[in-house]
Structure 1
Amino acid sequence: MRAPQVKGFFDEATFTVSYVVSDSQTAKAAIIDSVWDFDQPSGRTSFDSADEIIRHVEAQGLSVEWILETHAHADHLSAAPYLQEKLGGKIAIGREIQTVQGVFGKIFNEGTQFARDGSQFDRLLEDGDVLMVGEIPLIALHVPGHTPADMAYLLGDALFTGDTMFMPDYGTARVDFPGGDARQLYKSIRRLMRLPNETRVFLCHDYKAPNRTEFVWETTMLAERTGNVHIHEGVGEDDFVAMRIQRDSTLEMPKLILPSIQVNMRAGHLPEPEDNGVSYLKLPLNSL
């Protein structure tokens, strides 16, 4: 099994890790969960985080084949269209994005002009689909629970879990967004935990658990299975569900959830500009 090269890019403003994953023999690459910088008070955007990825790709002489989203993130905007314009590659996400588009299309009252068929993306992935990054197979795994559309990506010995689970000392993803389901999340994580002990596990976020001084976003499946504070071996489904529901009831909504979902359900594009040439994001009241 060929091990891919993995480079992480941590955005402390959103606690998000983006990845460039590459096949060293062919110099082909995929980008996973990119960040488009957004200052909500001013409404201004910038591409500092994405440009860092571009500099790395160009410095390493890589050719981007895929720009992947693990799901429609609720805590940061995706830079996928900008990266595609600069580097090429196809934008892909799980097919259940259609479900997310249906739910949030209603919440944001998008009207019939907003397509809910996932057509904003170049490829909609099913569970078990195999893409190629150079000569390394990338296996798409549907892992619902955090949202209906969550995907994990397995390339050789490297697993990219999205928001499904975090570092062992921090636990697992919340399930209180529309379409979230704690029992589905339990089953999804248990499925991932059947991967070999030595599987490298790369997380989409780190929030620096109590008593830890540094941000960390790589672990192993053995460490997750034996040490994850929420779902280690021996934790039953009912106990996990009760914990997750109680914990989620204490959490605030992510600060960027409303702008993020509007952009990310469009594959990283803003809503169409109005007649003055300006794009607007809605702020629906009492909707979540």
Structure 2
Amino acid sequence: MFTRKSPSTGSGSPEVTGFYDRDTGSIMYVAACPETKQAALIDVVLDFDPEAGRTRTDSAQEVLDFVKAQGLTVAWVLDTHPHADHMMASHWLTRQTGAPNAIGEKIREISALWRGIYHLPDAFDPDRDFDGLFADGEQFSFGNVQVNVMLSPGHTLGSITYVMGDAAFVHDTFMHVDTGTSRADFPGGSSKDLWNSLQEILTLPDDTRLFVGHDYPPVKDRHDPAWEATVAEHKQRNPHLAGKTEAEFIKLRDDRDATLSLPDRMLFALQVNLRGGRLAPLEDDGHFYFKIPANKF
């Protein structure tokens, strides 16, 4: 797996290691306090083969192997939103580490939306399946790293950013600085909300390291995946934002989103992620099943 480390810049600043999942273009993160060796795992992928309907834990295990090799202790298992393009390994990781898992509190509203889409009126109980549901402005910590939660809707109505000192995990808001921004056309998404979230993130100090959720190389002259750039770099170079008005951004984003197809894992992934990374309950034949709506998209 392609990995890259971003060093801590001092007390309160995490050392960040990103792991690139080529199947989904996702980046999984380990944010570690270098002084106490406590760590948070962010947006770790549960592998899924959509052709066979099979899940695996290879990628999540690779992250845990790194944690063990570095002598880290997992304090939190975090997700930024219920992902549409990959399944979250949250439940499996909590069982392996004993650490609490958490996501933004607006997953309750996202769950209500998708109960209707799946026609599963009794499904999805985030209060049961997550140990923490964070509100905008909430704070928590691991080691000497304080974490501030920032509501960042647009890609979904409940996406959150984790700000940790001079590092911010901005998920599906920005793409890498040479690429632009993330789509905002999923149920509950909004390009206007995304613009507002992007502008709020850009109020962080210019040297804040922004870590994005996805990359899809090759891009322009770049062949390797990349996921880190500063606030200042995004202000100056991001092609969807630099020199753009709100109206120009919304038109650009909406026009592009209208050309995009659904991720091939989306209808599988949401019914797992809204259960905190769990499959649906076992049926009487001893197997799990997915429910996929036909002709709704």
How would you bin the TM-score normalised by the shorter chain?
A: over 0.9
1:107-162 superposed Cα distances (whole Å, 9 cap, x missing partner): 111132x2445431111001111110112101111000110010111111111001
State TM-score, norm by structure 2: 0.94
Q: Deviation at 1:50?
A: 0.5
> Is residue 17 from structure 1 mapped to residue 51 from structure 2 by the alignment?
no
Aligned to 2:181: 172
Confirm or deny: 8 A CA contact 1:69 1:92 kept in the other structure. Answer: yes
Equivalent residue for 2:158, pick from 149, 153, 159: 149
Confirm or deny: 8 A CA contact 1:97 1:118 kept in the other structure. Answer: no
Q: Deviation at 1:262?
A: 0.7
Shift in CA distance, 128/238, structure 1 to aligned 2, threshold 3 Å? same
Q: Aligned letter for 2:221? A: N
Alignment partners' CA distance in 1, 2:109 and 2:119:
15
Q: Deviation at 1:106?
A: 1.0
> Is residue 261 from structure 1 mapped to residue 278 from structure 2 by the alignment?
no
Confirm or deny: 8 A CA contact 1:127 1:141 kept in the other structure. Answer: yes
SS of aligned partner of 2:128: coil
> Is residue 61 from structure 1 mapped to residue 68 from structure 2 by the alignment?
no
Aligned to 2:246: 237
Equivalent residue for 2:234, pick from 218, 224, 227: 224
Alignment partners' CA distance in 2, 1:54 and 1:235:
41
Aligned to 1:198: 207
Q: Which runs of 5+ in 1 are unaligned?
A: none
> Is residue 251 from structure 1 mapped to residue 266 from structure 2 by the alignment?
no
For residues 105-144 of structure 1, what are the structure 2 equivalents within 5 Å? 105-112=115-122, 114-116=123-125, 118-144=127-153
1:217-246 superposed Cα distances (whole Å, 9 cap, x missing partner): 1111111111111112x3111111111111
1:27-54 superposed Cα distances (whole Å, 9 cap, x missing partner): 1110000001111111111111001011
Equivalent residue for 1:207, pick from 205, 216, 220: 216
Q: Aligned letter for 1:151? A: I
SS of aligned partner of 1:131: strand
Alignment partners' CA distance in 1, 2:14 and 2:124:
35
Equivalent residue for 1:94, pick from 87, 104, 107: 104
SS of aligned partner of 2:161: strand
SS of aligned partner of 1:139: strand
Confirm or deny: 8 A CA contact 1:105 1:116 kept in the other structure. Answer: no
1:71-98 superposed Cα distances (whole Å, 9 cap, x missing partner): 0000001111111111121111101101
1:162-211 superposed Cα distances (whole Å, 9 cap, x missing partner): 11111111111111100101111001000000111111111111112233
1:1-48 superposed Cα distances (whole Å, 9 cap, x missing partner): 522111111100100000011111111110000001111111111111
Equivalent residue for 1:272, pick from 256, 268, 281: 281
Alignment partners' CA distance in 1, 2:63 and 2:221:
30
Confirm or deny: 8 A CA contact 1:102 1:116 kept in the other structure. Answer: no
State TM-score, norm by structure 1: 0.97
> Is residue 184 from structure 1 mapped to residue 189 from structure 2 by the alignment?
no
Q: Which runs of 5+ in 2 are unaligned?
A: 1-10
SS of aligned partner of 2:195: helix
> Is residue 34 from structure 1 mapped to residue 20 from structure 2 by the alignment?
no
Alignment partners' CA distance in 1, 2:145 and 2:200:
22
